[in-house]
Structure 1
């Protein structure tokens, strides 16, 4: 189901749908970097050293790896090719729409660049990024803030170069023309190859700045994409969501909390319990539960959102409950708060979601 348009409202900020870079990912990025290294004479075995991966795994489109395995490959690449100038930029150029599988096809078939960006942020864990972008519309500018603070320092500059170049390359592919940036800034000091970075950005980059960012005229976001197709887009979105749901399957303490959040009222629907109640059911203090969930890479709020979203979709699809009734049963004091949350989860309003699901039956 298509997401709502992303208007260039003043001061609008859109965060990515993930908290950090430590999410499971496909093998395509590792395969791409290994192939690049091979072109420079680095054997596959040296690129995969310390990862537990075998060469046949690079050709398995369904293979899924931990982010830290890709990080090990990145460290191998940087160690093996220290003399390649602008290594991150050169590798980043290799990331094309086709590298991202169904995620890429969803972007290609989006109506506009703004819609593609909205989708990409919501499903960022289908990408290979380590730097997390945050989108902002402000003062007549669209700015992508590219956060690298949590990226390991030994590969931080490489990954900023790689990820920013890959983002630029993919958006240029979507438009069918170079992305028209108006400025580009980086936190790292000016390197020995500023011309390589300027060639990538199309503008004179500034280095040693407080933040990594690139900016463009927000009018570009409304341009129709040349391969936009509403039917293909809807189909790709559904497949992406199923893939994300599988990858986000919870285990350990998170699974136990999620089970406790799933209600069991007389009609199967009632407001999920609060964190204090959940902690008590697990014989933990609230503070200890928060600490365990943080160590598992999630939070009570994130798990509550997952459960509420699943229940909301089920109630909107399988019951005649009004949107207001659904909101009440999910523990929201006001339906407007529920509508805002549902739109953040799915990119659509509850009413529009119900219509779309009814049309498919």
Structure 2
């Protein structure tokens, strides 16, 4: 499967990505069972009950965060709230993203897919996967999460990840260890019961680990044909969600090169800022307010151009890297694999076989 000491980052850099409505529906439903009205749960969000009934609704991450805050405020005295809510996230909660995971050949393949398309999830914590001798570790980063809901979201997201892995395997996922940055809570035994391992608290990082052999285990509902269909649908969904408006759309348009052959290197941020008649600092601030960054938009443009060049031109991988502004081919290959899960050469071969 994966070599020793391999690290796989998620396909996103922070939790501020558009998301579906299903997670909010789940939390509102849980709160309702505890006697909290939908009106109180949606206070300050601009959401309506009609929105909750629309399976295609998309919301800003800050809207879900507002719902989280309402939930934590309304049920502040309920022990293990994050754990209990996290257990409600099943593979079916995630729609086509979940179907892609469940039809993956192995747990390891499902995890790699989930990391690449993490923006189709509802997570606020960002997992980084590490394969090393005798252990697979998921490092769960919470540094950018607001402090008032950080512990709840760590508990919710880690429990949800464990629950989804259990759904994929058809049996409780056997963890070998779990660690959390927050202090040991009074309900630590409940975490042990749910995760199946005694967690350690007050540690440097949030993490959980499983035996690497579990990653090779075939999933009971694996189906190559269904998996391929789901992968294509997930990619289309990501592309639609990444459709940009406002300042981000203007930047993206300026990043698309206009060389003689259509494949000049994308413009640098200083050049883009000058073309928009703003300072570089102001541009960064505007993009941050829009929930994106120059680097994220540059990655989107580079990925689209790379895929086009690898599919429609005979350019070598080295030439593609140079035209995209990379100083070294190895840097481009690493970035392309992070975007797509495949090397440029493998991507080109796969597309050639489809034609």
Q: TM-score, length-normalised on structure 2? A: 0.94
1:139 positional shift: 4.2
Residues 54-80 of structure 1 show CA distances to partners (whole Å, capped at 9, x for unaligned) of: 112212110001111111211222222
For residues 287 and 40 of structure 1, do their structure 2 counterparts lie closer, same or farther at Cα, with a shift above 3 Å needed?
closer
**Does residue 233 in structure 1 map to residue 227 in structure 2?**
yes
Partner SS for 2:130: strand
- Measured in 1, the distance between the counterparts of 2:135 and 2:11 equals 22
Structure 1 segment 341-356 matched on structure 2, within 5 A: 341-356=335-350
Among candidates 229, 252, 258, match of residue 258 of structure 1: 252
1:132 positional shift: 1.3
Residues 64-117 of structure 1 show CA distances to partners (whole Å, capped at 9, x for unaligned) of: 011111112112222222332211111111100000001101111111111111
Among candidates 271, 277, 300, match of residue 277 of structure 1: 271
1:35 positional shift: 1.1
In structure 2, the residue matched to 1:360 is: 354
**Does residue 161 in structure 1 map to residue 155 in structure 2?**
yes
Structure 1 segment 56-75 matched on structure 2, within 5 A: 56-75=50-69
**Does residue 36 in structure 1 map to residue 27 in structure 2?**
no
- Measured in 1, the distance between the counterparts of 2:143 and 2:329 equals 37
Among candidates 34, 46, 71, match of residue 40 of structure 2: 46
In structure 1, the residue matched to 2:169 is: 175
Among candidates 93, 99, 103, match of residue 99 of structure 1: 93
- Measured in 2, the distance between the counterparts of 1:51 and 1:175 equals 36
1:335 positional shift: 3.5
Tell me if the contact between 1:112 and 1:225 (Cα under 8 Å) persists in the aligned partners.
yes
In structure 1, the residue matched to 2:125 is: 131
**Does residue 199 in structure 1 map to residue 196 in structure 2?**
no
1:18 positional shift: 1.5
For residues 298 and 51 of structure 1, do their structure 2 counterparts lie closer, same or farther at Cα, with a shift above 3 Å needed?
closer
Tell me if the contact between 1:263 and 1:272 (Cα under 8 Å) persists in the aligned partners.
yes
Tell me if the contact between 1:143 and 1:213 (Cα under 8 Å) persists in the aligned partners.
yes
- Measured in 2, the distance between the counterparts of 1:46 and 1:237 equals 37
Tell me if the contact between 1:24 and 1:64 (Cα under 8 Å) persists in the aligned partners.
yes
1:144 positional shift: 1.1
Q: TM-score, length-normalised on structure 1? A: 0.92
1:350 positional shift: 2.2
Q: Is there any run of 5+ residues in structure 1 with no aligned partner, and where?
A: none
Partner SS for 1:273: coil
Partner SS for 2:208: strand
For residues 294 and 81 of structure 1, do their structure 2 counterparts lie closer, same or farther at Cα, with a shift above 3 Å needed?
closer
1:235 positional shift: 1.4
In structure 1, the residue matched to 2:4 is: 9
Q: Which moved more, 1:249-258 or 1:101-110?
A: 249-258
- Measured in 1, the distance between the counterparts of 2:242 and 2:38 equals 30
- Measured in 2, the distance between the counterparts of 1:286 and 1:232 equals 46
In structure 2, the residue matched to 1:185 is: 179
For residues 284 and 44 of structure 1, do their structure 2 counterparts lie closer, same or farther at Cα, with a shift above 3 Å needed?
closer
Structure 1 segment 78-157 matched on structure 2, within 5 A: 78-157=72-151
- Measured in 2, the distance between the counterparts of 1:156 and 1:194 equals 17
Tell me if the contact between 1:8 and 1:218 (Cα under 8 Å) persists in the aligned partners.
no
Q: Is there any run of 5+ residues in structure 2 with no aligned partner, and where?
A: none
Partner SS for 1:289: helix
- Measured in 1, the distance between the counterparts of 2:275 and 2:71 equals 47
Residues 146-203 of structure 1 show CA distances to partners (whole Å, capped at 9, x for unaligned) of: 1122212222211111111000000011111111111111111111111110011111
Structure 1 segment 248-327 matched on structure 2, within 5 A: 248-327=242-321
Partner SS for 2:128: strand
